[in-house]
Homo-oligomer: A and B are copies of this chain.
Amino acid sequence: MTETKIPRATAKRLPLYYRYLNILHDGGKDRVSSNELAEAIHVDSATIRRDFSYFGTLGKRGYGYDVDDLIEFFKNILHQDRLTNVALIGVGNLGHALLNFNFHQDSNIRISAAFDTNPKNINTIQGGVPIYPMDQIVAQLKEQQISVVILTVPSNVAQEVANQVAQAGVNGILNFTSIRLNVPAGIRVHNVDLTNELQTLIYFIDHYDKKSDEDE
């Protein structure tokens, strides 16, 4: 709630900026222009400058942007200056893969707890993450002060589990199920629907101009 409200479209590009700035930093670059960035991430340079300008004056006219300055700025904005623990619910096929997915490699996020119904999983550690039974969701989330949850349960129990998660006082759900969840006001849900992604891609392929090569 610090700075004035930024357009959603801009907000969704912030992680992208942040990652590429880090890549530039690792490559030893200490300054960058909006045009260079534009080329790397396929976002128009004017859009980038417009985006940045919402946060004030981040660059220098005639010079460009100082890579380290930008990184520091976005690190703070994106909460990457401190570790964020998230939980994963549903250690099935996809859940298991996400437990082993190294979010921590290019972000300061890690999964610190997982939950499942399968007795074979419960009380084991997978991908370095302890797996608890489902009936401990509320207790563990509260104890570990986790406010974001990745939901990879079967669709038919998704709503039910979402209800429990809501009780635990969670603020955000990354929903991989194909169900559109009903949650109380105050909880944000972002949906990642793999089947939809493929269908949309296929639709765009034969209904939109071939010359376009970008998503969204």
Contact = CB atoms under 8 A, between A and B. Distances in A.
Interface of A: 1-2, 5-6, 8, 11-12, 14-16, 18-19, 40-42, 77-80, 84, 86, 93-94, 96-98, 100-101, 103, 106-107, 109, 147-148, 150, 171-172, 174, 178, 180, 183-208, 210-216
B188 A204 contact: yes
A11 B203 contact: yes
Contacts of A204: 11, 172, 188, 190
A176 to B, nearest CB: 10
Contact of A199 (B41, B42, B78, B100): B78
A118 to B, nearest CB: 15
B195 A212 contact: no
B202 A109 contact: yes
B103 A93 contact: no
Contact of A194 (B8, B12, B101, B205): B101
A197 B175 CA distance: 10
Contact of A97 (B11, B15, B97): B97
Contact of A196 (B15, B86, B208): B15
